[in-house]
Structure 1
Amino acid sequence: MDTEVPFLSGVDEDGLPLAGVSDFRGRPVYRNTSGGWQAALFVVAMELASTFANYGVSANLITYLTGPLGHSNASAAAAVNIWSGTASLMPLLGAFLADSWLGRYRSIILASTLYALGYGMITLASTIPTQQTSSLDNDYSSHPSSVKVAFFYISLYLIAIAQGADKPCGLAFAADQFDPDHPQECAARCSFFNWWYFSIAIGIAVAVALVSYIQENLGWGIGFGSLCVIMISAFIVFLLGSPSYRLYAPTPGSQSPFTRLAHNIATLFRSLSFSFGTIRQHHPKDGDDTTKSEEVRSVLRLLPIWTACLAYGVVFAHIMTFFNKQGRTLDRRLFGSLELPPAALQTFGPAAILLFVPIYDRVLVPALRCMTGNPSGLTPLQRVGTVMVVSLATMCVAALVEARRLETAHEYGLVDDARATVPMSWVWLVPQYVMIGVADVFAMVGMQEFFYDQMPSDLRSLGLALYFSVMGIGGFISGALISLIDRVTSSGGGDSWFADNLNRAHLDYFYWLLAGLSAIELVLYIRFTISYVYRHKSLH
């Protein structure tokens, strides 16, 4: 079991095995033959492949739903958001299983097995024949069998379950390979969180460009099948790294972290009940109860911050839905007859990340370190606050660009032609993709580091799951908003804000609504962070 994460305790390069640490077979391990980058890179390879495969499906999923599966724009966007929301919430269950029973190493193995099964099934589902007819409002309309639809969604949600077992454990397990009490490994761990996402961004960029092209030009079965092959190969690589991994043994006689957390919550409320009208007599156990209460309070203090981050999850959900549909209406020619797939425009987000992370880690952090005196340049909460500002600006830019697109469609008399290419370059969409990419750097680094460090040590998988749940709840909120607004705006026979003919829709109104929600989120966030006290003073 590697459920406990006390890291390493005072054992140096003196030939002794590391205390409280074992390999995957329960044998003692030594610093010079385990952990560090030599072990973390195997985990990075696995997570890189899982991210590649995930974006290979999600980046172009709305195209598949509105194409071969015949969904409307609104229903497809809601379906994508609900699926992505479920995939982002499943890490809460995965964190519970990892911290209470399986451990992170075995959770990743379980996730890898489910990934292979899920991507294999979605490949098979995409090859089931679909009857197609022409349509005035869509490029083509599909009439898939109920078996095809059911099988596709089963495989899709199986992948979501696999993400639940993988996402809260991958980063935490890789971080476990570095000892924060050892100077060299501590320094490596400080950069690890930044460079982790740099490598993940590579997988995202390649996936959304390459896989979307394969799906739309060579076939959906080939596109999904290649993801299955990649995941099986990555699973093998992860297993090859097993002899070098550091697994942490639970404290002897300790409770399950979640059981202890529930018990400590009960203890806290019991102690609060005694404080009303009763002077408590001191007992030796009071000190222990105080420690338990502080542990619970450290978890509860995260909830307002988590709540204030939800609007960002709503904004982020639309990169793979309406941003994609906008791109399909624009002139996407590169040169000659070569045309960008709409989903390939999403590569500008990861490209911004690839350029920004080295600049941030090597230029901005040292400069900010001199200004603030903080080793990380900005505190985790300041990084998350930057996310709020950039995501708000992104929605304002997206609304202005969409208003311009609608104006152009009116100028050229294309309002009633759903399949027309609006004479407006795809370059107009680049700023909103780049801005959301920059926001995602601060979100991934800031939120993950914040929730990881501020959780009690043996609940850190849950801490990382809180970040993913921001995206999950954001997806559900987005799906609910789309369904509600679609129903309200289409009542009385009018055009919905999300009409299948985007030239008669009003995505700009929806983006302004999201900008308003982001502004409210920013105000709440500032209010909550003013009074927040870090568990580790060094993070200030």
Structure 2
Amino acid sequence: MTGIKAKGNSCRLSGELILHEEAPTAVDRKCGGWITFPYIIATVLGLTITGGGLMSNLIVYLIERFNIKSIDAAQISNVVNGCTSLFPIAGAIVADSWLGSFSVIFISSIISLLGMILLTLTVTLPSLTPPYCEKGSKCDPPTKIQLAILYATITLVSIGLGGTRFTIATMGADQFDKAKDQGTFFNWYFFTLYLGFLIGATGIVYIQDNIGWGLGFGLCLAAGALGFSIFLSGKNVYRHVKPKGSSFTSLARVLIATVRKRKLSVASVSNDYYLGNNIESKNQFITPSSSFRLLNRAAINTESDTNEDGSIAKPWRLCTVQQVEDLKTLIHIFPLWSTSIFLSTPIGIQSSLVVLQALTMDRHIGSHFQVPAGSFLVFTLLSTAICLSVIDRLFFPMWQILAQRPLTPLQRVGFGHILNIVGMAGSALVESRRLHAFRSHYNANQPDSTVPMSAMWLVGPLAIVGVGEAFHFPGQVALYYQEFPMSLRSTATAMISLLIAVGFYLSTALINLIRRVTVWLPDNINKGRLDNVFWLLVVIGLVNFGYYLLCAIMYRYKNVENADDDSGIH
């Protein structure tokens, strides 16, 4: 490994991480490698338990301890989930551009712990929550001060958890030189992520519901503090990669340079375009492509644009051909990316409404155990985790034999669209049955009664959506990583997080719209028509799937070395 310097007891990489197969140097053995693995994985586990214990049961907490109406609580949960999915993008940009991964994780963890301390105080200090009231009775709403403290607490936790989620994965991969070791790390990272969320969404949620919110949140705080302590204890063995500046700057330069040279005619001779001082890759463009030709002006080398040594004299007036093509690639793939927004939106609505459904149903398994309402989301996670291994070991080989070609990323995403629609239809049918069961046993004057129907009916649709996630989320990661410019590979993997964030925000907006124009979502869902909401999601899904098919058929792979066909979903 070149460019690594040992400074005191810490390790810092002075340049870009280079993959190679040679044996590590003496410095390498002290910096990075598998010696860092226990520290990073333990940190991931602790932070994920904290997030799972909070996010899974947030709706129930808002309803039971802050007397917030059910649909409003679901809306708050959607916003929080959107924030924790959006902040990883900001964290990744700050880490890559200015502070580095270690500093972002350090700062985010402290913010998260401060939020968890405040959250624990809200359930231990009576003055921070409204008076407790029985279900069905008139409850006092929270005061403005109580709401302000609650929202400040949730904001801190969201920023903290979001800032560490993907940044710690990037830091973990930076500890290894070989791509094989990085792949092994990512497998363990996602396994630990699933395990931590399962512990938080089952064990911690059970304690919150059956023993006490104070103990439950206290355990979340303890798990986060322990993970953070382990993270700090490994500081001297981590390999620290210096920030290299934002890759988005070059994209902005293309746009600015295009505007500044808008009066120039697009050149047709390759000598008129700027390639840079050296060509680092055999795949680098020599002349710009014909698509979006107006952007080609940014690479036209005019007088005084370069210095005598061939370097750029005016960075915001001249760009390389490769930078222009990188921006074009993002423009080409944006329509495909946009089709996945309405994959995340129905999932966000389902994940919040299913908790409200479970609260009204019989959640007993046997005579003594009752499944917490917030734990039902685990069934989606379990089906995704199980299906990922089945797809890899069984479905892919069978598809290869029958179709005589591997399943492409676009085809994987297409299967995810279909399964998502089927899952929403299943939720609509289950809700229709739930409403029928309620109306068969109670009248309109008993809206708070428990529906005599097992909540296990909710598992089927959740599992189908989970199987869909096993197809479309990895398919999107593979597509973006394959097609994005090399300089934006880390951003490519974080695009999924951005999709989830936008999906949750849109789910909040869509629920608000439904509440304004219909009577389907009253505060008590036994008086409403949640089934119509799910059928609306089915219609939206079908329209979006048609849009996806159109985009997929028209799309042309840019990196044809990794694609079996250079176009479409074939």
| Fold-level similarity (TM above 0.5) | yes
**Structure 2 SS opposite 1:420:** coil
State the Cα distance separating 1:48 from its structure 2 match. Answer: 3.1
Aligned match of 1:462 in 485, 491, 495?
Answer: 491
- Counterpart of 2:232 in structure 1 is 239
Contact (CA 8 Å) 2:68, 2:141: kept in 1 or not? no
Distance 1:438 1:241, change over 3 A: farther
Q: Return 5+ residue gaps in structure 2 as ranges.
A: 1-10, 276-285, 287-318, 565-570
Instruction: Call closer, same or farther: CA 1:312–1:497 in 2, change over 3 Å.
Output: same
- 1:12 matched to which residue of 2? 22
Q: Give the CA deviation at 1:151.
A: 1.0
**What is the CA–CA distance in structure 2 between the aligned matches of 1:175 and 1:271, rounded to whole Å?**
41
Structure 1 stretch 62-71 or stretch 263-272: which is displaced more?
263-272
Contact 1:52–1:207 (CA under 8 A) maintained in structure 2: yes
Taking the aligned partners of 2:13 and 2:485, their CA distance within structure 1 comes to 12
1:68 aligns with 2:65: yes
For residues 305-336 of structure 1, give each alpha carbon's deviation from its aligned partner in whole angstroms, at most 9, with x where no partner exists. 22111112212213442100101111111122
Tell me, in whole angstroms, the C-alpha distance in 1 between the residues paired with 2:424 and 2:263.
Answer: 46
Q: Deviations over 1:195-226 (max 9, x none)?
A: 54333222222211112211122222221111
Q: State the match for 1:485 in structure 2.
A: 514
2:535 corresponds to 1:538 = no
Identity within the alignment, %: 28
Q: How does 1:523-534 map onto structure 2 within 5 Å?
A: 523-530=546-553, 531-534=555-558
Structure 1 residue 60, shift from structure 2 partner: 1.3
Q: Which runs of 5 or more structure 1 residues have no equivalent in the other structure?
A: 18-27, 180-184, 490-495
TM-score, scaled relative to structure 2: 0.81
Q: 1:5, 1:458 within 8 Å by CA — same for their partners in 2?
A: no
Partner of 1:472: 501
Question: Is 1:423 the equivalent of 2:452?
Answer: yes
How far did residue 341 of structure 1 move?
A: 1.6
Match of 2:366 in 1: 335
Are 2:306 and 1:296 equivalent residues in the alignment?
Answer: no
1:409 equivalent in alignment to 2:399:
no
User: By how many angstroms is 1:61 displaced?
Assistant: 1.1
C-alpha deviation, 1:297, in angstroms:
1.9
Deviation at 1:282, TM superposition (A): 3.0
Find the counterpart in structure 1 of residue 271 from structure 2.
282
Structure 1 residues 99 and 239 mapped into 2: Cα distance closer, same or farther (>3 Å)?
A: same
Partner of 1:161: 159
2:42 to 30, 42, 45: 45
Determine the structure 2 residue equivalent to 1:209: 202
Secondary structure, aligned partner of 1:423: strand
Report the AA paired with residue 453 of structure 2.
M
Q: Which has the higher mean CA deviation after the structures are superposed, 377-386 or 79-88?
A: 377-386
SS in 2 for 1:67: helix
Pick aligned residue for 2:538 from 487, 500, 515: 515
> Is the partner of 2:446 in helix, strand or coil?
coil
Aligned amino acid, residue 433 of structure 1: L
Answer whether contact 1:202 1:350 (CA < 8 A) is retained: no
Alignment match, 1:261: 251
Q: CA deviation at 1:230?
A: 0.4
- When structure 1 is superposed on structure 2, of 456-465 and 298-307 the one drifting more is 456-465
- Counterpart for residue 341 of structure 2: 310
Of 379-388 and 209-218, more deviation after overlay is shown by: 379-388
Decide whether the 8 Å contact of 1:267 with 1:292 is kept in 2: no
**For residues 87 and 139 of structure 1, what CA distance do their matches in structure 2 show?**
34
User: Aligned runs of 1:363-382 on 2, under 5 Å?
Assistant: 363-368=394-399, 378-382=407-411
Query: Do the aligned partners of 1:74 and 1:483 also contact (CA within 8 Å) in 2?
Result: no
Residue 327 of structure 2 aligns with an amino acid whose one-letter code is V
Q: Is the 8 A contact 1:396 1:511 kept in 2?
A: yes
Matches within 5 A, 1:24-39: 28-30=27-29, 35=32, 38-39=35-36
**Structure 2: how far apart are the matches of 1:79 and 1:2?**
41
* Equivalent-residue separation in structure 1 for 2:476 and 2:192 (angstroms): 18
Q: CA deviation at 1:420?
A: 1.3
**Shift in Å at residue 447 of structure 1?**
3.0
Following superposition, the deviation at residue 401 of structure 1 comes to 0.5
Classify 1:453/1:273 alpha carbon distance in 2 versus 1 (closer, same or farther; 3 Å): farther
The answer as to 2:142 corresponding to 1:149 is no
Does residue 89 of structure 2 align to residue 58 of structure 1? no
Name the aligned partner's letter for residue 218 of structure 2.
G
Secondary structure in structure 1 of the residue aligned to 2:271: coil
Give 1:166 deviation, angstroms: 1.7
The aligned counterpart of 1:20 is none
What is the rounded CA distance, in whole Å, between the counterparts of 2:34 and 2:413 in structure 1? 27
Contact 2:99 2:243 in 1 (8 A): no
* Separation in structure 1 between the aligned mates of residue 507 and residue 14 of structure 2, nearest angstrom: 36
Partner of 1:317: helix, strand, or coil?
A: helix
Question: Shift of residue 36 of structure 1?
Answer: 5.4
The secondary structure found in structure 1 opposite 2:131 is strand
Report the Cα distance in structure 2 between the residues aligned to 1:226 and 1:501, rounded to whole angstroms.
32
- Which position in structure 2 is the counterpart of 1:387? 416
Match in the other structure for 1:492: none
Alpha-carbon distance in 1 for matches of 2:423, 2:114: 37
User: Which residue of 2 is the match for residue 175 of structure 1?
Assistant: 173
Native 8 Å contact 1:3 1:98 kept in 2: no
Tell me the distance in 2 between the aligned counterparts of 1:432 and 1:317.
Answer: 14
Q: How many residues align?
A: 509
What's the offset of the Cα at 1:101?
Answer: 0.4
Distance, in Å, in 2 between the alignment partners of 1:133 and 1:10 is 61
